[in-house]
Amino acid sequence: MSDITLAKPFPDKRNKTKVDLARIIGFAILLIVTIAMILPLGFMLSTSLKTTKEMLVFPPTVIPEHFAWENFKELFVNEEIKFGRQYANSLIVAIMTVIGTVFSSSFVAFGFARYRAKGSQFLFVLVLSTLMLPYPAIMIPQFLLFTKLGLHDSLLPLILPSFFASAYMIFLLKQFFSTLPNELYDAGRIDGCREVRLYWSLTLPLSGPVLATVAIFSFIWSWNDLLAPVLYLDSQENFTLPIGMAAMLSSKFRIAPWNLMMAASLLSVLPIVVLFAIAQRRFVQGIVLTGIK
Amino acid sequence: MSKKMGKTILSSALVFGLVATACSNGGSKDGDTVTITHYTIDSPDRTFVEKLIPEFEESHPNIKIKVTKAPYEQFDSKLQSSIAAKNAPDVTSHWGYGGFMEYYNKGMLMDMTPYLEDFNAADYNIPEDVMNIYKVDDKTYGIPLNSYVTVMLYNKDLFDKAGLEYPPTDYEDKSWTFDKMVDYAKKMTVDTPNLAEAQYGVDFGFGERDQRPQYFGANVYSDDTWTNGGKPSEINLTKPEVVEAYKKIYGLIWDQKVSPTPAFSKSVSGQFGDPFLSGKIGMSVVGSWSLAASSDFNFKIGVAAVPQGPNEKVRSVLYVDPLFILKDSKHPKEALEWIKFLITTEVQEKSIELSGGNPPVNQKAAEKYYSNFEGIDPEQIKQVFEGAYKYGFESYNHLISNYSQINELFINELASVENGDAKVEEALPGIQEKLKALLERVNK
Amino acid sequence: MKSTRESRREGRLFYFFVSPWLIGFIVFALIPVLASLYYSFTEYDIIHAPEFIGFGNYTELFRDEQFWNSINVTLKYTFISVPLTLLLSLIFAILINQKIPFRGLFRTAMYFPSMISGVSMALLWFWVFNPQAGLFNYGLSIFGIDPIHWFLDEKYAMWALIIMSFWGLGGGMLIFLAGLQGIPAHLLEAAKLDGAGRLRTFWNVTFPLLSPVFLFQLIIGLIDSFQVFTQAYTITQGGPNYSTWFYVYNIYINAFKNFRYGYASAMSWILLIAVTAITFIIMKLSNRYVYYEGGRER
């Protein structure tokens, strides 16, 4: 395979046939891998539309004999699942997190990009170092703090920290703000009021795409997060989707409702699919810029 | 007749309650209402208490009841957190992983004795020995509410198909033995990797894993455990009789091949589900709470005695759920009023239906419970329950300190045996050592 | 040259703007890190006041079999999954970077699954690996291989998780792809004019230029895999027989199921030290091996 590891394609007339062979092999490999990547998603879709009886048939049927749309209805109707409520909770947390992250991080990043002060270098290094700080290393005292404040079993502990800026996003936005031409801000006097206006009505409007990237990624992280919600949320009404879905595996059901779980998974992936469809470029940019998935 | 009796008791309880309330009111200002928080599991067989509140509040105008709830998995964590946040409920039970002894040793429970001077268990038809389960050093820490037992459920359809006679309900019928159960099971088992056709004779879920040997006359813990606050001084996992017992238990899966493998159970019913409900299990030895869902089964079920095993005395695990008042409660008297209301015959009878079939601790109400299950003869259920009480032993999880950690250890350490990867005699010495270390740490 | 007054004003503005982060850093990171150090020397169950026990938790940890097992499990997963994921994502990036039809489609199909992380993915793979009716065993049965019990078998559960981790390699692939496309064409042309073969061009030109990307990915990959939790919580509950008892799952169980916040804090601190040390070591080593354009920056 290393025979075909050309970094960037460039014309090669001498070895045309060889290159073609290499490309064909490469193409075949990609095709197989892509199918392998997509297949589980297809299995998810197909199972979500099967009846309880059909889902356990071996070998699995590809297309359900009878489309069991009622699985999706069941998710919302079944009182014991509280799927709708949990979906709403997840949306609330994710949207609030996006709002908090976008505004606080851009605010802070503006400060880092625009001003020098005693300690500003040091503080930026500190921002970068918190990129590596594992959440499990700080979750216990955070949990104890919020619990003592009586905020346990509420959505607040999941939302509140996002209003104090995220290191990743500060880093990403600072890089972008630094590329904005200095002349934009040229106008002698520095005063607080004017600076906030510069941030709000000059910088933010120029940063639409990168803010969209920040928004999308903070949405996805919040949407997929399991550990923090598991620590804080105890009542079923307060669950976010990930815990609610994990709880569906438990004993309330006679037979593990794989069809319902796949339907739930499908619906929980929906916002991400939608975001992906309307802003694919922002995804690519976000991944490349932050280096995280 | 029993109804009339119940009414008498109820009204006397009400009068008693009113008097008690009046007394407790003496200390506080008139018109003050007190809110009692009742913390419970978020499932219909528990949350039904909400429907009892209006009636209670009507008769107790100065007490308001608030219900808070969490699912089983989160039950203990929410309880601890609310205690930490000085926001603890007044009334609850050990409905999570931890049991009575765990709560007791953590100092979470209030000693109710001072408030129980006028309380007479007989007024509520609670047998004295049941009442004693939640006493430590003659102090009462809990008042029983429901009592579950271990029963055998069987799938009548599978029995009919195999042409087998239904198992008896009478515990005194000594011909119904463990070996006979295995014989029956063999006739119903279809052991094949094909899920659609696979079917197993028996799922022997007697108590938790550490209690199961008790059925075979072997005890995992030394006898002092039951008298010293749930702290075993010795563990007997390497004693021959315990090893033999575990061999029998897991032999059902791997030697006799009449019980479902964990792989089968989990793939038909999920991580914690009960495979019996899938209709592919002939007999299931299980806690009687499974009966509550009986009307939803899509096959005919019967209930039978747990067969006679090597242990003459113990054939059933009892699970008596009490109500506790937590130590931080500011209104223990009012909390007790609520508890007493819940164990009156009338309320207990009502609860059976509202909960979908919770077995009342009040023996008068139990009569009604026995006739609650469609398609099952009340006499049979009564016989099974009475036999189970007679040959019952309280569940270890209520009696042993730090039970959740112990149980976790058993679940994980025995997984290789259950999956057929290790032999019982290979696994037990390791568990013995680990359990010893665990107990030394938690009971120091 | 700015006047002192102006720079003082600038300083004030700087702190005004970074104050949200600064407050957040102190409240949600600095204090917790220090508090967790303090708790690690105590016995604390949240109901009773913390009781100082010196190094008690640490000495107990070093004797705790489950602690060592969780490290073992986590490292096993890390050392197999991270390098393989990295290697595969590099290979796929190189393949996609060729002139082939449907490049955009391949790229999308490969990195879309990496967006679906968390519980949805865990449930899906739990189902795909279902021993009786799952897709994976069906695939194996076509080749006449007997059903494997995957998550229910301690010999295979870890491998199932590792296979599952490959599903998320699209993100890494995309980063490599961006790196590949950032390599100046003239360098590759030059290598070719020197008569270097593909393999040599890759080793001598492409790979060195990609090495900072590679390094960054490696660090992120390691830190992420030290923190695996979702799979253990949703699918295996650490089992069977502790074979997927990941480090963070161990912290979670000790703190939030066994209510031993002090003991779990000690583990948190060890994790913090491990992450810091590994990041530091890789950075140090990389000074020697990683090529940064325009000289050594770090």
Instruction: Write out chain A residues lying below 8 Å of B274, CB-based.
Output: 251, 254
**Max mean pLDDT range (B96-110, B146-160, C278-292):** B146-160
Q: With a cut of 90, say whether residue B187 has pLDDT above it.
A: yes
Q: What is the pLDDT of residues C73-109, one digit of tens each?
A: 999 999 999 999 999 999 999 888 888 888 888 888 8
Q: Name residues whose C-beta falls within 8 Å of residue C226's C-beta, 6 or more positions apart in sequence.
A: A134, C74, C78, C247, C248, C271, C274, C275
Q: With a cut of 90, say whether residue C193 has pLDDT above it.
A: no
**H helical segments located in C194-260:** 198-201, 207-226, 230-231, 247-252
Which positions 254-273 of A are in contact with B (Cβ < 8 Å)?
A: 254-257
Rounded alpha-carbon distances, angstroms, from residue A184 to A191, A206, A211: 16, 11, 19
When mean pLDDT is compared across A53-57, B121-125, C96-100, C275-279, the lowest value belongs to: A53-57
- Evaluate whether residue B341 is within a structural domain: yes
> What chain A residue is nearest to C12 in terms of C-alpha separation?
A117
Look at C47 and B106 and tell me if their CB atoms are within 8 Å.
yes
Residues of chain B with pLDDT > 90, as a percent, come to 50
Instruction: Write out chain A residues lying below 8 Å of B43, CB-based.
Output: 80, 252
Look at A250 and B271 and tell me if their CB atoms are within 8 Å.
yes
> How near does any CA of chain B get to the CA of C265, in Å?
17
Q: With a cut of 60, say whether residue C221 has pLDDT above it.
A: yes
Look at C240 and B415 and tell me if their CB atoms are within 8 Å.
yes
CA B72 to chain centre: 13
Domain total for chain C?
1
Q: B25 forms bridges with which residues in the sheet?
A: none
- Evaluate whether residue B424 is within a structural domain: yes
* Domain that includes residue B407, residue range: 150-317+392-442
Q: Of the candidates B340, B341, B331, which has an alpha carbon nearest to the alpha carbon of residue B36?
A: B331
Look at C147 and B193 and tell me if their CB atoms are within 8 Å.
yes
Model pLDDT, residue B15: 42
For B263-268, what is the mean pLDDT? 78
CB-based contact (8 Å) between A59 and chain B? Answer: no
Domains parsed from chain A with CATH numbers: 2-72 (no CATH), 75-290 (1.10.3720.10)
- Alpha-carbon span B303 to B280, nearest angstrom: 16
> What chain C residue is nearest to B261 in terms of C-alpha separation?
C152
**Max mean pLDDT range (A12-21, A93-102, B126-135):** A93-102
Based on the domain organization, do B402 and B354 belong to the same domain?
no
Model pLDDT, residue B46: 87
Which positions 275-294 of B are in contact with A (Cβ < 8 Å)?
A: 277-278, 293
> What chain B residue is nearest to A234 in terms of C-alpha separation?
B74
> What chain B residue is nearest to A151 in terms of C-alpha separation?
B85
Q: What is the pLDDT of residues C4-19, one digit of tens each?
A: 877 888 888 899 999 9
Phi and psi for B235 in degrees, rounded to 5? -120, 135
Q: Provide the whole-model pTM.
A: 0.86
- Evaluate whether residue C27 is within a structural domain: no
CA B337 to chain centre: 24
Element (H, E) at A146: helix A135-148
CB-based contact (8 Å) between A251 and chain B? Answer: yes
* Domain that includes residue C136, residue range: 65-289
- Evaluate whether residue B385 is within a structural domain: no
Q: B91 forms bridges with which residues in the sheet?
A: B38, B325
CB-based contact (8 Å) between A235 and chain B? Answer: yes
Q: Are C20 and A107 in contact (CB under 8 A)?
A: yes
Which positions 292-311 of B are in contact with A (Cβ < 8 Å)?
A: 293, 296
Rounded alpha-carbon distances, angstroms, from residue C243 to A45, B77, B270, C250: 31, 25, 19, 12
The CA radius of gyration of chain A, in Å to the nearest whole number, is 24
Chains that contact A by 3+ CB pairs under 8 Å?
B, C
Model pLDDT, residue B29: 43
User: Which residue of B97, B108, B416 is in closest CB contact with C47?
Assistant: B108
- Evaluate whether residue C24 is within a structural domain: no
- Alpha-carbon span B371 to B377, nearest angstrom: 7
Q: What is the pLDDT of residues B81-91, one digit of tens each?
A: 899 888 899 99
> How near does any CA of chain A get to the CA of C44, in Å?
11
Based on the domain organization, do B334 and B223 belong to the same domain?
no
Mutation test of the interface with chain B: which of C59, C149, C256, choosing the one with the most B Cβ atoms within 10 A? Answer: C149
> How near does any CA of chain B get to the CA of A219, in Å?
26
Confidence of residue A94 (pLDDT cuts 50, 70, 90): very high
Q: Which residue has the higher pLDDT, A291 or B51?
A: B51
When mean pLDDT is compared across A105-114, B178-187, B197-206, C106-115, the lowest value belongs to: C106-115
> What chain A residue is nearest to B274 in terms of C-alpha separation?
A254
Look at C242 and B76 and tell me if their CB atoms are within 8 Å.
no
> What chain B residue is nearest to A81 in terms of C-alpha separation?
B43
Look at A3 and C98 and tell me if their CB atoms are within 8 Å.
no
- Evaluate whether residue C11 is within a structural domain: no
- Evaluate whether residue C71 is within a structural domain: yes
Chains that contact C by 3+ CB pairs under 8 Å?
A, B
Chains that contact B by 3+ CB pairs under 8 Å?
A, C
Q: Is the dihedral angle over the CA atoms B158, B160, B162, B166 positive or is it negative? A: positive
Q: Name residues whose C-beta falls within 8 Å of residue A137's C-beta, 6 or more positions apart in sequence.
A: C33, C36, C268, C269, C271, C272, C275
Based on the domain organization, do B188 and B255 belong to the same domain?
yes
- Evaluate whether residue C203 is within a structural domain: yes
Q: What is the ipTM of this complex?
A: 0.88
Based on the domain organization, do B184 and B248 belong to the same domain?
yes
Which positions 8-67 of A are in contact with C (Cβ < 8 Å)?
A: 8-10, 22-23, 26-27, 29-31, 33-34, 37-41, 43-44, 47, 55-60
Count residue pairs from A and B with Cβ separation < 8 A.
Answer: 86
Based on the domain organization, do B290 and B168 belong to the same domain?
yes
For B421-442, what is the mean pLDDT? 90
**H helical segments located in C26-64:** 31-39, 56-63
Q: Are B97 and B402 in contact (CB under 8 A)?
A: no
DSSP track, A242-253:
HHHHHHTTSTTS
Model pLDDT, residue B27: 40
Q: With a cut of 70, say whether residue A9 has pLDDT above it.
A: no
- Evaluate whether residue B387 is within a structural domain: no
Confidence of residue C245 (pLDDT cuts 50, 70, 90): very high
Q: Cα torsion for A104, A105, A106, A112, to the nearest 10°? A: 110
- Evaluate whether residue B272 is within a structural domain: yes
> How near does any CA of chain A get to the CA of B268, in Å?
6
Model pLDDT, residue A254: 53
Burial of residue C168 (number of CB atoms within 10 Å: 0-12, 13-18, 19+): buried
Domain total for chain B?
2
Q: What is the pLDDT of residues A181-209, one digit of tens each?
A: 877 776 655 566 678 888 888 889 888 88
For B130-137, what is the mean pLDDT? 87
> What chain B residue is nearest to C146 in terms of C-alpha separation?
B193
Model pLDDT, residue A251: 52
CB-based contact (8 Å) between C133 and chain B? Answer: yes
When mean pLDDT is compared across A15-19, A193-197, B294-298, C191-195, the lowest value belongs to: A15-19
CATH number of the domain that B99 lies in? 3.40.190.10
- Say how many Å lie between the first and final Cα of chain B, rounded: 54
Based on the domain organization, do B85 and B226 belong to the same domain?
no
One-letter amino acid for residue A242 of the chain: P
Q: Are C206 and C197 in contact (CB under 8 A)?
A: no
Mean pLDDT (chain B, rounded)? 86
For C196, how many CA atoms within 13 A lie in the half-sphere containing its CB? 18
User: Which residue of B84, B193, B404 is in closest CB contact with C46?
Assistant: B84
Based on the domain organization, do B7 and B65 belong to the same domain?
yes
Residues of chain B with pLDDT > 70, as a percent, come to 91
When mean pLDDT is compared across B98-107, B288-297, C245-254, the lowest value belongs to: B288-297
> How near does any CA of chain B get to the CA of C241, in Å?
5
Based on the domain organization, do B331 and B429 belong to the same domain?
no
SS3 content of chain B, % helix, strand, coil (to 5): 50, 15, 35
Q: With a cut of 50, say whether residue A69 has pLDDT above it.
A: yes
- Evaluate whether residue B386 is within a structural domain: no
Based on the domain organization, do B293 and B334 belong to the same domain?
no
User: Which residue of C172, C198, C265 is in closest CB contact with A5?
Assistant: C198
Q: Strand pairing of B143-148 and B150-155?
A: unpaired
- Evaluate whether residue C38 is within a structural domain: no
Model pLDDT, residue A82: 87
Based on the domain organization, do B365 and B348 belong to the same domain?
yes
CB-based contact (8 Å) between A54 and chain B? Answer: no
Instruction: Write out chain C residues lying below 8 Å of A195, CB-based.
Output: 13, 17
CATH number of the domain that C140 lies in? 1.10.3720.10
Model pLDDT, residue B8: 43
Based on the domain organization, do B134 and B158 belong to the same domain?
no
User: Which residue of B69, B266, B273 is in closest CB contact with A254?
Assistant: B273
Look at C239 and B412 and tell me if their CB atoms are within 8 Å.
yes
- Evaluate whether residue B17 is within a structural domain: yes
Element (H, E) at B302: strand B301-304
- Evaluate whether residue C35 is within a structural domain: no
Confidence of residue A223 (pLDDT cuts 50, 70, 90): very high
> How near does any CA of chain C get to the CA of A109, in Å?
7
Look at A235 and B73 and tell me if their CB atoms are within 8 Å.
no
Based on the domain organization, do B168 and B256 belong to the same domain?
yes
- Evaluate whether residue C156 is within a structural domain: yes
Q: What is the pLDDT of residues B325-337, one digit of tens each?
A: 999 899 999 999 9
Q: Which residue has the higher pLDDT, C296 or C69?
A: C69
